[in-house]
Structure 1
């Protein structure tokens, strides 16, 4: 037990902050139409953290070792004046990197403003180039061309861009090679994400998973790939490079090759809950502390206590039975 606890006491370096629970899109992980229909009630404005509260939290987390911030949602670009928040966060001492995860729909309009506010990079979700496949996945009839134009706008603005593709069996496997070819030619990193049992509404089971090994074998039949060493401890993606190219691909393998033991990231939901795992069922309320105590002490004590006692190993321990039994927070609420 002692060895396990030592293994889990990893530094807290990476914080994902959800700024809204709303989205203008569907994806394979969250917000299915039969649940998140037009009458669905999202969080009231007073329950969502203000920019001032998010900034306070980010300052405290930076003092506890966080160096990377990722702004997520829902869709973060739906939050009004989001560039104002990014500008605030860039001024926090100790924060070296600020990124944003988006579905790309609003990037054409916002990319330049995001760059001017100090954002360094975006991760864009795109699960298919083929329009009919993509429209079926997003459930809103949004064309892949809309997202592609957003990616191009981000590149023109000088933002770093990575594209995330969730691969699901019998849904978009046919898009693996076209996506790889397209983004290799653009010089953009594409990351393949195994279809995961995030939340309770995406109809997940093991039979829908296309593993990293399966994806890699498909790619290896078309491209020469060579491994790339991690940039830092706790890096989630397993990285490869197209031979004779600087362009990379990556794999997020939390189903077939878990990485709980090296996890250094935490998440804050839009209403101020602190989660130590993407597959958590319970968060720890920081909003009440923020709104009750003007000084940092109680926040520091709570965050440190939660992180140092974390025992999250869901991906290590996942079984068909545990998947059926465990209630997990929805991706639309906690972010990626």
Structure 2
């Protein structure tokens, strides 16, 4: 289905839970998220019902996010059931990687296509600090396990944070020399907990291009991808840049989001949310809600507009 600007909307990102086994400083409050009533969260069966309606409207790509999707009970069953839906071409996941080593084989067997792994530093102590207790070794073991079993291509998502990991740009770029992975630098966005961080610690991805003049542009096969790719002349992997702040990519946006409490978000950078879970539970027609949401998807975000109001929700409850 196309929105009113002619964009084909075929990509659904589903936040399965707002819970996480980490407490990243720019993503979640130190004490974690406030407790949400169990009945307010979509059940696995409800996720499947919503997806089955959406695929009839053209959704053929699913990304599972959180919070941390691997802490969601029934995650393997969900992937198995989504994999049975013939209209779906790809099921992917964004994860912090802490549980990947032990779960990767079952995820692949269930039908997961590939993973994006959030990792903002290769320094064990800095990782422990920014995640408030995370174990970097578990993430690195998870990456190796995914390589081993072919849960690929692997993409590493790295949020550039001034004064924290800008001194590791060389490490991340050079990681692609011997590793067939995509390292994607993501600009820090003014969302929830990160709104104040954005004011003080934002740095543009341009800093990487300025530092590595030898990077060669790589043509993307997917025009809707938010990342612009480059590579070092002899590298096995690629470098991607996702620049929602300094250079938006709204004209080719093909996605909508479903939050863990059953709200559709037509755009990440808006506080607009449409409740679909209540209607589903009442037995009402959710197809019309989805159609209307897609048709009225905003033309573009307003991150750089005067008076922009930062997103209230933290990223862990949106699903990114």
Q: CA deviation at 1:261?
A: 1.8
Output the CA distance in 2 between the equivalents of 1:127 and 1:260: 25
Query: Paired residue for 2:12, among 15, 20, 27?
Result: 15
Report the CA distance shift for 1:28/1:211 in structure 2 as closer, same or farther (over 3 A): farther
1:100-249 alignment runs, 5 A limit: 100-140=93-133, 142-160=134-152, 161-220=154-213, 224-249=214-239
Partner of 1:69: 62
In the alignment, is the contact (CA less than 8 A) between 1:276 and 1:312 conserved in 2? no
CA contact (8 A) 2:217 2:231 kept: yes
- TM-score, normalised via structure 1 length: 0.89
RMSD: 1.9
Within 1, Cα distance between the matches of 2:64 and 2:37?
Answer: 20
Which residue of the other structure, out of 25, 29, 32, is the alignment partner of 1:32?
A: 29
Q: In structure 2, list runs of 5 or more residues that go unmatched.
A: none
Distance 1:117 1:69, change over 3 A: same
Residue 279 of structure 1 corresponds to which residue in structure 2?
269
- Cα offsets for 1:186-231 (capped at 9, x unmatched): 21111000111122555233452221211222233xxx32111122
CA distance in 2, matches of 1:272, 1:184: 42
Q: 1:46 to 1:202 in 2, by over 3 A?
A: same
Partners of 2:265 and 2:198 lie apart in 1 by 24
2:126 counterpart SS class: helix
Say whether residues 1:302 and 2:302 are aligned partners.
no
C-alpha displacement of 1:31 = 0.6
- Structure 2 counterpart of 1:288, from 254, 272, 278: 278
Moved over 4 A (4+): none
Is contact 1:279-1:328 (8 Å) kept?
A: no
What is the Cα deviation at residue 62 of structure 1? Answer: 1.2
- Alpha-carbon separation, structure 1, partners of 2:86 and 2:38: 29
**Could you tell me whether the CA contact under 8 Å between 1:77 and 1:102 is conserved in 2?**
yes
Structure 1 alignment gaps of length 5 or more:
none
Change (3 A) 1:26 1:194: same
Residues 11 and 61 of structure 2 are in contact (CA less than 8 Å); yes or no, is this contact kept in structure 1?
Answer: yes
- Equivalent residues of 2:160, 2:205 under 8 A apart: no
- C-alpha change, 1:312 and 1:27, in structure 2 (3 Å) is farther
Counterparts of 1:262 and 1:206, CA distance in 2: 27
- Does the 8 Å contact 1:234/1:264 carry over to 2? yes
What is the CA deviation profile of residues 221-276 of structure 1, one whole-angstrom value per residue up to 9, with x for unaligned ones? Answer: xxx32111122231111111222344211011001111122211111001110001
Q: TM-score, normalised by structure 2?
A: 0.93
Q: Secondary structure at the match of 2:157?
A: strand
Of 49-58 and 107-116, deviating more is 49-58
SS at match of 1:205: helix
